[in-house]
């Protein structure tokens, strides 16, 4: 996506504008350190490119930006749960309209804050009072923090994921490592050597991954360090060929250039008492 070509709706500062992309509003950051776009629909980071380097984030060429369906690619905010444990799958945050709360900037970069609060619509799906804030720091690295607060007076259980789609040169030569000695696949725990390569669909939760997970991508001649916090697992996903073909919003061969490395609370195991806050984070460093 050429972010510079998107039609401008409002200029907020030297580095930040609001633009239009099909049916959605997008915060666009063009800063000497990096460019990025973040959709208000879903608080979804759509793109991030450090200056002089290749795109860090993968976006499907067939992604739907109509504003009713979750966007394929970028960093979907799966919240307040991860996966299919309830409806909708991966929670309602990624298909909700968020509010642009604040933007701050200096020579080092830009911070964008987006918020979502409970409403009649969210309470019909999940009967809790909350505030969620997504803080996106755009500098020569991308730092995303999802801050969840219980604004009600009864506890709730929380899960979720920052479901990052990383842009890679070739899945068949990519290695993801520092993943710990075990993974969960289809509900079954299996031993792990701590790294994985790809020659078929991979959809795994690594509950003992290191804080920094490493993605080696010889085809693009780079390494991505993914530094996670507030999580109890790292999800690694590549849909491979058959699943890509079955998904209308992915091109048939697009699995070849993406891998998801997700900072996740995979099992709704965070208890948030009244007034408490939890932060889930991921930071991506391109080396
Ligand atoms: O994070 C991996 C996963 O949960 C997979 O099981 C796969 O279905 C993927 O997310 C995408 O989910 P989505 O609902 O966006 O199609």
Instruction: State the CATH number of the domain containing residue 209.
Output: 2.70.98.10
Q: Residue 254: phi, psi to the nearest 5?
A: -75, -15
Per the structure block, which two tokens stand in for 280? 């889930």
Tell me which residues have their CB closer than 6 angstroms to ligand 1.
70, 83, 89-90, 163, 203, 235, 237, 260, 262
Give the ligand 1 atom nearest the CA of 72. Answer: 15
**pLDDT tens digits, one per residue of 33-68:** 999 999 999 999 999 999 999 999 999 999 999 999
Give the ligand 1 atom nearest the CA of 70. Answer: 15
- Structural domains in the chain (count): 1
pLDDT given at position 26 = 98
Mean pLDDT of the region 205-220? 98
Contacts of 269 (CB under 8 A, 6+ apart): 157, 159, 232
pLDDT given at position 176 = 98
**pLDDT tens digits, one per residue of 51-110:** 999 999 999 999 999 999 999 999 999 999 999 999 999 999 999 999 999 999 999 999
pLDDT given at position 3 = 79
The domain of 238 spans 3-286
Contacts 24+ apart (CB under 8 A), 183-190: 183/207, 184/233, 184/266
Ligand 1 mean position, distance from CA 287 (Å): 27
pLDDT score of 4 more than 90:
no
**Helices and strands of the chain, counted as H and E runs:** 2, 22
53-86: buried (b, 16+ CB within 10 Å) or exposed (e) per residue? eebbbbbbeebbbebeebbbbbbbbbbbbbbeee
Closest C-alpha residue for ligand 1 atom 2: 237
Helix (H) / strand (E) containing 122: helix 120-125
Q: What is the DSSP letter of 97?
A: B
pLDDT given at position 5 = 87
The one catalytic residue in 44, 128, 163, 266 is 163
Mean pLDDT of the region 224-253? 98
Mean pLDDT of the region 228-243? 98
Mean pLDDT of the region 206-235? 98
Structure pTM? 0.98
Mean of all residue pLDDT scores within the chain = 97
């Amino acid at each position: 996506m050429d972010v510079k070509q998107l039609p401008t709706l409002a200029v907020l500062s030297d580095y930040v504008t609001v633009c239009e992309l099909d049916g959605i509003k997008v915060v666009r950051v063009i800063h000497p350190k990096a460019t990025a776009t973040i959709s208000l629909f879903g608080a979804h980071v759509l793109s991030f490119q450090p200056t002089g380097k290749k795109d860090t984030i993968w976006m499907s060429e067939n992604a739907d930006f109509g504003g009713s369906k979750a966007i394929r690619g970028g960093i979907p905010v799966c919240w307040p749960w991860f996966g299919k444990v309830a409806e909708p799958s991966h929670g309602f945050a990624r298909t909700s309209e968020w509010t642009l709360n604040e933007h701050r900037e200096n020579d080092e970069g830009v911070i964008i804050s987006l918020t979502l609060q409970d409403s009649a619509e969210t309470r019909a799906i999940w009967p809790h009072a909350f505030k969620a804030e997504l803080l996106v720091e755009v500098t020569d690295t991308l730092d995303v923090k999802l801050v969840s607060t219980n604004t009600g007076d009864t506890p709730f259980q929380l899960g979720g994921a920052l479901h990052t789609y990383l842009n890679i040169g070739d899945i068949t030569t990519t290695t993801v490592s520092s993943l710990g000695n075990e993974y969960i696949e289809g509900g079954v725990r299996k031993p792990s050597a701590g790294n994985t390569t790809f020659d078929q669909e991979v959809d795994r939760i690594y509950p003992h991954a290191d804080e920094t997970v490493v993605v080696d991508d010889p085809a693009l001649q780079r390494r991505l360090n993914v530094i996670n916090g507030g999580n109890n697992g790292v999800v690694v996903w590549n849909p491979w060929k058959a699943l890509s073909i079955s998904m209308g919003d992915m091109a048939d061969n697009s699995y070849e250039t993406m891998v998801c490395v997700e900072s996740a609370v995979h099992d709704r195991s965070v208890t948030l008492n009244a007034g408490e806050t939890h932060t889930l984070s991921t930071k991506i460093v391109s080396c």
